[in-house]
Amino acid sequence: MSKVLIIGCGGVASVAIHKCCQVPEVFTEICIASRTKSKCDKLAAELAPKTATKITTAQVDADKVDEVIALIKAYQPDLVMNIALPYQDLTIMDACLACGVNYMDTANYEPENTDDPEWRAIYEKRCKEAGFSAYFDYSWQWAYAKKFEEAGLTALLGSGFDPGVTQAYCAYAKKHEFDTIDTIDILDCNGGDHGYAFATNFNPEINLREVSAPGSYWENGHWVEIPAMSIKREYNFDQVGDKDMYLLHHEEIESLAKNIPEAKRIRFFMTFGQSYLDHMRCLEDVGMLSTTPVNFNGQEIVPIQFLKALLPDPASLGPRTKGKTNIGCIFTGKKDGKEKTYYIYNVCDHQECYKEVGSQAISYTTGVPAMCGALMLLTGKWTTKGVHTVEEFDPDPYLDALDKYGLPRSESHSPALVD
């Protein structure tokens, strides 16, 4: 019996909301609140006849902390699920603290305007000290740890697939398969085809920023940074086949390095097709990925936002996307003094997801873990106060919930390793 405020009503939120409505005994009441209320109303009207969950909607600009506080005070939720954009993480955390409510999200904070001088000064200091240059990192949200702890509240960070399930896979490997973990390779493969020459599977601005940034990995206690897309491997993925994958910086490496300190190397690879990479390079070369506003015919335009307006809406890819995703982690390490390897992963079918919730697998593989993370907090399975990432909690009930609600695990005890 709980009341949940869900902020955001895009691709990922829509899946999470569908899934919450499949568990009305826990999600008794939900309020869907977003910048554009009409999208919330449309989804609520679609779901209301099919669920016992009571759904209301609201308009909120989550960049404005006062608006979020007013909404929380009016609705009185047990939990706020932030499934808007990473830009809103801090304002929503502030509002949760002000109102004494638990918080969760699916991606760590990054600023909308990376030219903001105040943010830039802190960012440049971090680049030098930490040794990686991604715009996003955990420092902003980890800085809230004491405040959440003192308030007796929990903030669960990054309960999507990666970050999210991948960290639960690490916690599971640590708990059940290894005494010590030596290396972790996170492999994110999208074998889906949507038929467009170029489109992104989730918010284009966030996606293109991530993919065009330098890659980096954790080795022997420090970051190694490399030019974007400069480390390429081929891997044969179960139920997908051979794919080219590239080493990227990814946020969970940062928390895993902290929470599994014995790991000597942690890397993240994502598959990309040649057409995607050619388009991205070209767009980057002509300045279309820039976040710095340009003046065009007397109007200020942010190039990447203009590009977003031209690209297919990720939510519209659902009916066209065919194929499967395969995301998981390969470990090497030791158990009972012996060397061993282990691979745990999920395979998800784009068309099956579309049939069930009207979305492709990228939104599905993020929205289901968002619901399962909320389920852990609301049913008292995860209760540690403070600000925590997924690998800090017991992985067993979370992986059981994922098995049950659409993302079952597969495993191999003799996987091919990535060199």
Binding site for ligand NDP (CB under 6 A): 7-13, 34-36, 39, 60-63, 83-86, 88, 106-107, 158, 160-164, 202-203, 206, 314, 366
- Cβ burial of 295 (10 Å; 0-12, 13-18, 19+) is exposed
Instruction: Provide, rounded to whole angstroms, the least separation between the CB of residue 34 and ligand NDP.
Output: 4
Count, in order, helices (H) and strands (E) of the chain.
15, 18
Instruction: Provide, rounded to whole angstroms, the least separation between the CB of residue 137 and ligand NDP.
Output: 14
Complete DSSP assignment for 16-44? HHHHHHT-TTTEEEEEEEESSHHHHHHHH
- Could you tell me which residues are beta bridge partners of residue 340? 333
Query: By C-beta, is 163 or 191 nearer to ligand NDP?
Result: 163
Residues 30, 20 contacting (CB under 8 angstroms): yes
Instruction: Provide, rounded to whole angstroms, the least separation between the CB of residue 325 and ligand NDP.
Output: 11
Instruction: Provide, rounded to whole angstroms, the least separation between the CB of residue 366 and ligand NDP.
Output: 4
Query: By C-beta, is 9 or 171 nearer to ligand NDP?
Result: 9
Query: By C-beta, is 197 or 309 nearer to ligand NDP?
Result: 309
Query: By C-beta, is 13 or 170 nearer to ligand NDP?
Result: 13
Whole-angstrom distance, CA of residue 58 vs CA of residue 35: 9
Closest residue to ligand NDP, judged by C-beta, is 10
Instruction: Provide, rounded to whole angstroms, the least separation between the CB of residue 313 and ligand NDP.
Output: 8
Query: By C-beta, is 94 or 219 nearer to ligand NDP?
Result: 94
The SS3 call for residue 4 is: strand
Instruction: Provide, rounded to whole angstroms, the least separation between the CB of residue 75 and ligand NDP.
Output: 15
Instruction: Provide, rounded to whole angstroms, the least separation between the CB of residue 179 and ligand NDP.
Output: 29
Instruction: Provide, rounded to whole angstroms, the least separation between the CB of residue 386 and ligand NDP.
Output: 20
Query: By C-beta, is 109 or 178 nearer to ligand NDP?
Result: 109
- Could you tell me which residues are beta bridge partners of residue 187? 269, 328
CA distances from 341 to 22, 168, 173, 271, 324 (A): 36, 17, 10, 22, 24
Query: By C-beta, is 142 or 178 nearer to ligand NDP?
Result: 142
Residue type, 282: C
Residues 383, 154 contacting (CB under 8 angstroms): yes
The SS3 call for residue 98 is: helix
Which segments of 160-274 are extended strands (E)? 180-190, 215-219, 222-226, 232-237, 241-247, 265-271
Instruction: Provide, rounded to whole angstroms, the least separation between the CB of residue 370 and ligand NDP.
Output: 8
Query: By C-beta, is 163 or 386 nearer to ligand NDP?
Result: 163
Query: By C-beta, is 151 or 377 nearer to ligand NDP?
Result: 377
- Through-space distance between the first and last CA atoms of the chain, rounded to whole angstroms: 49
Whole-angstrom distance, CA of residue 151 vs CA of residue 136: 26
